[in-house]
C-alpha cells in the first residue's frame, strides 16, 4: 500500500510552512505502508494540477494533504470540503478568487474518507492537541481538499483521502506534528 502525503510551500510573507516541514520529516514507511511526500504550491491554479500529476504518477491508496492553519492551536482533522473559493489574501500567484466554486456544477461539499473520529481518539490518547474541524476555510487548502475528494469520487478504486491542518510551530513541535501525521496514516491504513 502506498500513501501520498503533501504539504504546502510558504505563503503570505512567511519564510516557512510547518506543513511542509512536518510532511518532509515523515518516515518512508509506516508498517507496510510506503509513504511518498511532496510539496504543493500555495496557488489555486497550480496546486491542483500538481496534485493530479502526483496522483497519476504514484497511484496511491491513501492521499493525505496537509496545510497550515496559523490561527489554530491544535491539529485539525478536517471533516468537510466545500465547493467555494473565497480567498482572504492573494495566493502565491497573486490570485484572490471571491465567491467562486472550486468545480463549477460540483456538489456543495464532500466528506473526508479518512477515519476522522478514530484519528481524533488516537491522537488524544497520546496527548496531542487535536480536534475535528467542520471547515478547512475557503482558501487554497479547502480548494485542494475539494479537488482531491472530487477526483476520488470519480475513481473506480476506493481511495482514502482527506485533509489535516497543522498549527504554527509555536503551538506544536515538529516532532508532535510528525507523530500526529504518522498516527493519521496508521489509522487509515488499518481501515483497509
Grid cell in block for residue 4: 501520498
Which CB sits closer to ligand PCA, 118 or 129? Answer: 129
Catalytic annotation present for 175: no
Q: What minimum distance in Å lies between the beta carbon of 29 and ligand PCA?
A: 25
What are the residues whose beta carbons fall under 8 Å from the beta carbon of 32, sequence distance 6 or more?
1, 189
Task: Give strand pairing partners of 8.
Answer: 40
CA angle 13, 14, 19 (to 5 degrees): 135
User: Residues 77, 175: contact at Cβ < 8 Å?
Assistant: no
Q: What minimum distance in Å lies between the beta carbon of 155 and ligand PCA?
A: 24
Active-site option among 78, 130, 143, 160: 78
Which CB sits closer to ligand PCA, 120 or 141? Answer: 141
Q: What minimum distance in Å lies between the beta carbon of 69 and ligand PCA?
A: 5
Catalytic annotation present for 78: yes
Positions touching ligand PCA (CB under 6 A) are: 8, 11, 17, 19, 42, 67-69, 137, 139-141
User: Residues 128, 22: contact at Cβ < 8 Å?
Assistant: no
- Report how far residue 92's alpha carbon sits from residue 157's, in angstroms, rounded to the nearest whole number: 33
Neighbours of 154 (CB within 10 A): 8
Which CB sits closer to ligand PCA, 19 or 176? Answer: 19
Catalytic annotation present for 58: no
Active-site option among 65, 141, 143, 160: 141
Place of cell 482514502: 160
Q: What minimum distance in Å lies between the beta carbon of 1 and ligand PCA?
A: 26
Which CB sits closer to ligand PCA, 140 or 159? Answer: 140
Which CB sits closer to ligand PCA, 67 or 97? Answer: 67
- Between the CA of residue 110 and those of 30, 46, 78, 80, 147, what are the distances in Å? 27, 21, 11, 6, 10
Active-site option among 20, 130, 143, 165: 165
Q: What minimum distance in Å lies between the beta carbon of 19 and ligand PCA?
A: 5
- Report how far residue 152's alpha carbon sits from residue 158's, in angstroms, rounded to the nearest whole number: 8
Question: Which residues have a catalytic role annotated?
Answer: 78, 141, 165
Amino acid at each position: 500500500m502506498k500513501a501520498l502525503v503533501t504539504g504546502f510551500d510558504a505563503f503570505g510573507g512567511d519564510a516557512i510552512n510547518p506543513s511542509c516541514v512536518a510532511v518532509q520529516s515523515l518516515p518512508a514507511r509506516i508498517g507496510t505502508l510506503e509513504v511518498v511526500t511532496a510539496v504543493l504550491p500555495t496557488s489555486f491554479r497550480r496546486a491542483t494540477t500538481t496534485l493530479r500529476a502526483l496522483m497519476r504518477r504514484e497511484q496511491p491508496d491513501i492521499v493525505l494533504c496537509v496545510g497550515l492553519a496559523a490561527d489554530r492551536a491544535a491539529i485539525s482533522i478536517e471533516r468537510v470540503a466545500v465547493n467555494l473559493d473565497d480567498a482572504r489574501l492573494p495566493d502565491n500567484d497573486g490570485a484572490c478568487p471571491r465567491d467562486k466554486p472550486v468545480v463549477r456544477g460540483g456538489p456543495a461539499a464532500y466528506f473526508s474518507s479518512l477515519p476522522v473520529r478514530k484519528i481524533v481518539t488516537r491522537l488524544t490518547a497520546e496527548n496531542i492537541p487535536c480536534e475535528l474541524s467542520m471547515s478547512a476555510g475557503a482558501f487554497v487548502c479547502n480548494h485542494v481538499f475539494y479537488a482531491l475528494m472530487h477526483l476520488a469520487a470519480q475513481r473506480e478504486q476506493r481511495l482514502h483521502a482527506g485533509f489535516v491542518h497543522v498549527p504554527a510551530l509555536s503551538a506544536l513541535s515538529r516532532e508532535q506534528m510528525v507523530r500526529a501525521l504518522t498516527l493519521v496514516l496508521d489509522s487509515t491504513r488499518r481501515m483497509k
